[in-house]
């Protein structure tokens, strides 16, 4: 057997807290994410609580979804919040101009916050910046948060909600460089400043007594566009609490080629290329963080990767605009590689929202009528639960490089953290489809005796779960870890995600 690869876990050099929001979700009025996926309506034969699917709530509660972003995406900039309040029977049906089909508005403000409360998540509302006005935003914010006797608070109460909703984050602009208005960064920054001025955040100058205390997130760059980051921070940095970044894993890193790669039934050679594109997140973050560090050396402004994940050709026989795709072991690796990268940059990356929660892109859950499947990506998130709000521990280990069509990337990545309960957790994402590795990680002063955990792998590269059929892939007990002379020795199988706890 090849010699173990030696490394260290620096237990005496704790880094930042890994915000639980890094494991955030995104739910857009797109395809079957909201309708069918989350909302079936109170009269549905599918078990529900006030119209929200119970199986979906149970599954999302189990991965302790820390925050959900809603209602878009591109949809946010065509959304009129007033369409989604009041008696459902009287709400207007509109065209969903972005993603096709009709928007019944059955799932609106009250239903979203009910859903978030059911799953126990913080809320991240994306306001309409491109086709609405600061006045519209202000009204929605007052409707949501006002404790007073103003007309908007009264209207909310008349619609069945006495207490203000808990609004934690608000996105101002979405992809302002693209579907959110095709703006230049300078133009966006000016618009952003205007909206931020009327955001009336509690605690800001002149607004010490406002009821709205959400953090403001400015629409940030796409991929590696550091010019956007620089210009927007320069002109509007002081008015924001965070700035977003969107990075999707697509074929050859070219969004125009997104329909080239299939989610399942792909040639073996596609494995490395997709995982290479996922691993590029590291360089993209580094480039943006370098710009942020210059503009904001105190690291006040968070970097929220509020859209990320794989984007493949849509499944045959489904509406192309609905972005429905299957999800395999390869996606589980994309998720684990990406979470490990976020951990390594957690002093800046304080939120991330995988796209999207149900039935869209790299989803956690897939539904088919009353049937539900948990995807391999869901299981990565389930295994990474101990990292929520844990303290990062730097890991030093060098992996061999794997070759893809567009470049090379590390065969495996490792991340470690100390959870609030004092336990140390280690995650390994082994992207190598052909080789396993033995790691021997020095634990320094940490005296551990027992290693237990889970492994997610499968014989087939495209192992996936189909609603209504027995699971083809799910985590299993991991027995390949032991402590040998103060070192954590892990036998990591090929193409696997392993997460262990040390006791
Ligand atoms: O997640 C799907 C879409 O991708 C979002 O609506 C948009 O913001 C991005 O282009």
List Cα–Cα distances, 186 to 102, 195, 196, 224, in angstroms: 35, 14, 15, 18
What tokens were used for 431? Answer: 């992207």
> What pLDDT is recorded for position 200?
78
Q: What is the mean pLDDT of residues 394-420?
A: 97
Distance 74 CA to ligand 1 centre (A): 6
- Is residue 458 within 8 A of residue 389, CB to CB? The reply is no
Atom of ligand 1 nearest to the CA of 361: 1
pTM assigned to the model: 0.98
> What pLDDT is recorded for position 207?
59
Q: Look at 48-52, 118-122, 208-212 and tell me which has the smallest mean pLDDT.
A: 208-212
Q: Which residue has the higher pLDDT, 204 or 261?
A: 261
Q: What is the mean pLDDT of residues 366-380?
A: 98
pLDDT of 1 strictly over 80:
no
Q: Is 355 in the pocket of ligand 1 (CB under 6 A)?
A: yes
pLDDT tens per residue across span 276-315: 999 999 999 999 999 999 999 999 999 999 999 999 999 9
- Per CATH, the number for 5-9+395-502 is 2.60.40.1180
Supply φ then ψ for residue 368, to 5 degrees: -145, 100
> What pLDDT is recorded for position 201?
72
Domain ranges of the chain: 5-9+395-502, 20-387
pLDDT of 128 strictly over 90:
yes
307 carries an active-site annotation: yes
> What pLDDT is recorded for position 440?
98
Distance 90 CA to ligand 1 centre (A): 29
Q: Is 174 in the pocket of ligand 1 (CB under 6 A)?
A: yes
216 vs 393: CA distance, rounded Å: 29
Q: Is 353 in the pocket of ligand 1 (CB under 6 A)?
A: no
277 vs 174: CA distance, rounded Å: 23
Q: What is the mean pLDDT of residues 128-132?
A: 98
Q: Which of 103, 175, 191, 273 is catalytic?
A: 175
Q: Is 372 in the pocket of ligand 1 (CB under 6 A)?
A: no
> What pLDDT is recorded for position 226?
98
Confidence of residue 346 (pLDDT cuts 50, 70, 90): very high
Nearest CA to ligand 1 atom 6: 73
pLDDT tens per residue across span 452-469: 999 999 999 999 999 999
- Per CATH, the number for 20-387 is 3.20.20.80
> What pLDDT is recorded for position 211?
84
Q: Is 357 in the pocket of ligand 1 (CB under 6 A)?
A: no
Q: Is 77 in the pocket of ligand 1 (CB under 6 A)?
A: no
432 CB-contact burial (10 Å; exposed 0-12 / middle 13-18 / buried 19+): buried
Distance 32 CA to ligand 1 centre (A): 14
Supply φ then ψ for residue 232, to 5 degrees: -70, -40
> What pLDDT is recorded for position 3?
81
Average pLDDT, the chain: 96
Q: Is 220 in the pocket of ligand 1 (CB under 6 A)?
A: no
pLDDT of 118 strictly over 60:
yes
Distance 73 CA to ligand 1 centre (A): 5
Percentage of the chain modeled with pLDDT above 70: 98
Q: Do domains 5-9+395-502 and 20-387 have the same CATH topology?
A: no
pLDDT of 180 strictly over 90:
yes
> What pLDDT is recorded for position 203?
64
466 vs 375: CA distance, rounded Å: 8
> What pLDDT is recorded for position 204?
61
Atom of ligand 1 nearest to the CA of 180: 8
123 vs 169: CA distance, rounded Å: 6
Closest residue by Cα to residue 217 from 364, 484, 24, 438: 24
Atom of ligand 1 nearest to the CA of 98: 6
Nearest CA to ligand 1 atom 2: 73
Q: Is 302 in the pocket of ligand 1 (CB under 6 A)?
A: no
Atom of ligand 1 nearest to the CA of 178: 10
pLDDT of 208 strictly over 60:
no
> What pLDDT is recorded for position 209?
62
Q: What is the mean pLDDT of residues 477-494?
A: 97
């Amino acid at each position: 057997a090849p010699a173990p690869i030696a490394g260290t876990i620096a237990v005496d050099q704790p880094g930042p807290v890994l915000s639980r929001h890094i494991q955030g979700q995104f739910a857009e009025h797109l395809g079957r994410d909201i309708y069918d996926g989350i909302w079936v309506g109170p009269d549905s034969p599918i078990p529900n609580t006030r119209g929200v699917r119970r199986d979906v709530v149970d599954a999302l509660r189990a991965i302790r979804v820390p925050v959900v972003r809603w209602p878009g995406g591109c949809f946010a900039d065509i959304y009129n919040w007033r369409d989604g309040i009041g008696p459902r029977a009287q709400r207007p049906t509109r065209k969903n101009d972005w993603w096709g089909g009709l928007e019944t508005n059955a799932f609106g403000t009250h239903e979203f916050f009910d859903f978030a409360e059911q799953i126990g998540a913080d809320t991240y509302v994306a306001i309409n910046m491109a086709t609405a006005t600061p006045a519209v935003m202000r009204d929605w914010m007052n409707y949501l948060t006002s404790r007073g006797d103003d007309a908007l608070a009264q209207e909310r109460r008349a619609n069945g909600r006495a207490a203000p909703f808990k609004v934690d984050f608000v996105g101002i602009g979405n992809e302002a460089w693209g579907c959110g208005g095709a703006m230049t960064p300078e133009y966006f920054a000016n618009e952003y400043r205007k909206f931020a001025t009327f955001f009336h955040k509690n605690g800001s100058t002149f607004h010490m007594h406002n009821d709205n205390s959400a953090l403001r997130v400015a629409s940030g760059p796409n991929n590696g566009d550091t010019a956007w980051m620089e210009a927007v921070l320069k002109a509007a940095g002081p008015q924001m609490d965070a700035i977003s970044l969107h990075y999707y894993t697509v074929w050859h890193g070219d969004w125009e080629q997104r329909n080239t790669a299939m989610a399942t039934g792909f040639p073996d050679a596609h494995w490395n290329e997709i995982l290479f594109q996922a691993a590029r997140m590291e360089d993209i973050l580094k480039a943006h963080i370098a710009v942020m560090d210059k503009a904001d050396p105190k690291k006040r402004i968070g970097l929220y990767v509020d859209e990320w994940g794989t984007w493949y050709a849509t499944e045959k026989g489904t509406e192309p605009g609905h972005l429905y795709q299957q999800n395999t072991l390869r996606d589980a690796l994309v998720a684990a590689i990406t979470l490990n990268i976020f951990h390594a940059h957690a002093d800046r990356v304080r939120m991330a929202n995988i796209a999207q929660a149900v039935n869209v892109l790299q989803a956690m859950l897939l539904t088919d009528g009353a049937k539900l499947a948990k995807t391999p990506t869901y299981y990565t998130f389930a295994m990474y639960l101990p990292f929520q709000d844990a303290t990062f521990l730097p890991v030093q280990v060098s992996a061999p490089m794997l070759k893809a069509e567009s470049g090379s990337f590390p065969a495996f990545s490792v991340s470690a953290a100390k959870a609030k309960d004092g336990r140390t957790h280690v995650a390994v994402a082994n992207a190598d489809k052909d080789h396993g590795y033995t790691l021997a990680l020095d634990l320094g002063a940490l005296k551990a005796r027992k290693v237990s955990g889970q492994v997610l792998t499968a014989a087939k590269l495209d192992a996936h779960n189909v609603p209504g059929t027995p699971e083809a892939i799910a985590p299993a007990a991991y027995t390949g870890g032991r402590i040998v002379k103060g070192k954590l020795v892990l036998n990591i199988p090929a193409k696997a995600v392993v997460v262990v706890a040390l006791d």
